[in-house]
Amino acid sequence: MSSTLNQRELLNTHQLDSLPTTHPLKTTGVAESPMLKALTGQKGSHHPVWFMRQAGRSLPEYRKVREGIPMLEACLTPELACEITLQPVRRHNVDAAIFFSDIVVPMKLAGVDVDIVPGKGPVLSQPVRTAEDVKNLPELEDSALDPIREAVSLTVKELGDTPLIGFAGAPFTVAAYMVEGGPSRDHLRPRTMMHSDPDTWHALGQWAARTAGQFLQTQIEAGASAIQLFDSWAGSLSESDYRTYIQPHSAQVLQSVAHYGVPRIHFGTGTAQLLKAMHEAGADVVGVDYRLDLAEAQHRLGGGVPLQGNIDPALLSAGWDVLKEHVDHVLADGACAPSHIVNLGHGVPPETDPEILTRLVEYIHTQTAREVA
């Protein structure tokens, strides 16, 4: 392990003093779990594995409990959010749970009129496109986060020594939805606003960063042992634009939780050109999507960075022999990093056979136990 990682680990141990005395990192074996070891650049008993969008979509038990319940209602019903978060841990024996939520939940809790339309995605009743629109955005009140506190608390009680990863959408993705008023293929409006009205853009980015920071702080204080900042749409940006218009706001989010000392993962899709800038925003671990080999990602990052990724989700349905060969390649590439959290290079496709995911976790655990012993 590099001296940088040793220093960071010691710093984090000191910073954990700011967590509640009942936090799982202080009261359970979470701190010694394979996941937490890997997140801090250490080798554990095996390479840990979890899947983005593992809490739902492909699971029949998820579809059953969600039947007739809108997405945002499910996210804000503590008992249901807890149950959905736990389902893939029970079924697949993954090494971490990811908190069941959505990137627009903080926006919704702040009072923005947004809904998730089936088959379309997040839709705002009124897009945010002017300085006045941004000025009129409501601030997220702490009391509005009570359902999140309750859901996280319920979840970590059930997880025991398995860590919970907190989740939030990154400022660019959130702001892009707000400016567009809904999903977009090319994010032209937010990209135009950056250049035509940078003051308004930065004001919106600061609002998105504040709410994301509050959302993550709440999850950490209630029991999350790591966090992931997810930037769905940053891949549409050049590195120059990212550094000028986005990185300061993502850095604001990551810095807002730095004092807790929990590991911070930063992931985006289509962001091969942005990996170094995303790491420099304050990430401890960089997630890599399926478009770039992990060895090349580590090269671009300059070495010494724990990585997460990057199984191609399309290969989950390509047959076991094809998938196994691909996973072996991913594991071999991941050896370039001080530690490697195995994951998909994006979310679990809804048509995925859950048995494949269960088998994949077992294979990764048994394959890598010998390597890291």
pLDDT truncated to tens, each residue of the chain (373 aa)?
Answer: 333 344 345 445 667 889 999 999 999 999 999 999 999 999 888 999 999 988 878 999 999 999 999 999 999 999 999 999 999 999 999 999 999 999 999 999 999 999 999 888 899 999 999 999 999 999 999 999 999 999 999 999 999 999 999 999 999 999 999 999 988 888 999 999 999 999 999 999 999 999 999 999 999 999 999 999 999 899 999 999 999 999 999 999 999 999 999 999 999 999 999 999 999 999 999 999 999 999 999 999 999 999 999 999 999 999 999 999 999 999 999 999 999 999 999 999 999 999 999 999 999 999 866 554 5
Measured over the CA atoms of residue 258, residue 219, residue 88 and residue 158, the dihedral's sign is: positive
Is the CATH number 3.30.300.30 carried by domain 3-31+49-304?
no
CA distance readout (Å), 284 to 100, 118, 244, 255, 320: 22, 34, 21, 11, 33
CA distance 364 to 343: 10
Q: How far apart are the first and last CA of the chain?
A: 15
Q: Give me the catalytic one of 53, 129, 191, 264.
A: 53
Of the candidates 8, 57, 189, 243, the residue annotated as catalytic is: 57
How far apart, in whole angstroms, are the C-alpha atoms of residue 356 and residue 359? Answer: 5
Amino acid symbol at 322: V
Q: How many helices (H) and strands (E) does the chain have?
A: 18, 9
In this structure, the chain runs to a length of 373
Q: Which two tokens stand for residue 188?
A: 């032209």
What lies within 8 Å, CB to CB, of 362 at 6+ separation is 93
- Catalytic residue, chosen from 95, 102, 231, 293, is 102
Annotated active-site residue 102? The verdict is yes
C-alpha–C-alpha distance, residues 371 and 366, integer Å? 9
Residue 171's Cβ-side half-sphere holds a number of Cα atoms within 13 Å equal to 26
The three-state secondary structure class of 192 is: helix
Contacts of 67 (CB under 8 A, 6+ apart): none
Yes or no: say if 311 and 47 are a contact pair by the CB < 8 Å rule.
no
Burial class (CB in 10 A: 0-12, 13-18, 19+), 246: buried
Any catalytic annotation for residue 243?
no
Say how far apart CA 162 and CA 56 lie, in whole Å: 18
Which amino acid does the sequence have at 203? Answer: A
Write down the catalytic residue from 62, 66, 91, 242: 66
CB 326 within 8 A of CB 361: no
Residue 347 CA, distance from chain mean position: 11
- Taking alpha carbons only, the member of 148, 146, 64, 59 closest to residue 101 is 148
Cis peptide leading into 12, omega within 30 of 0? no
C-alpha–C-alpha distance, residues 235 and 155, integer Å:
32
Smallest CA-to-CA distance from 220 within 51, 85, 24, 35 is with: 24
Cβ atoms of 137 and 10 within 8 Å: the answer is no
Q: Which residues contact 243 (CB under 8 A, 6 or more apart)?
A: 277
Determine which one of 62, 129, 177, 290 is catalytic.
Answer: 177
3-state secondary structure (DSSP) of residue 287:
strand
DSSP string covering 230-256, please? EETTGGGS-HHHIIIIIHHHHHHHHHH
185 catalytic? Reply is no
Q: Is 149 a catalytic residue?
A: no
Distance in angstroms (rounded) separating the CA atoms of residues 235 and 147: 32
Half-sphere exposure of 18 (CA within 13 A, CB side): 14
The answer to whether 53 is a known catalytic residue is yes
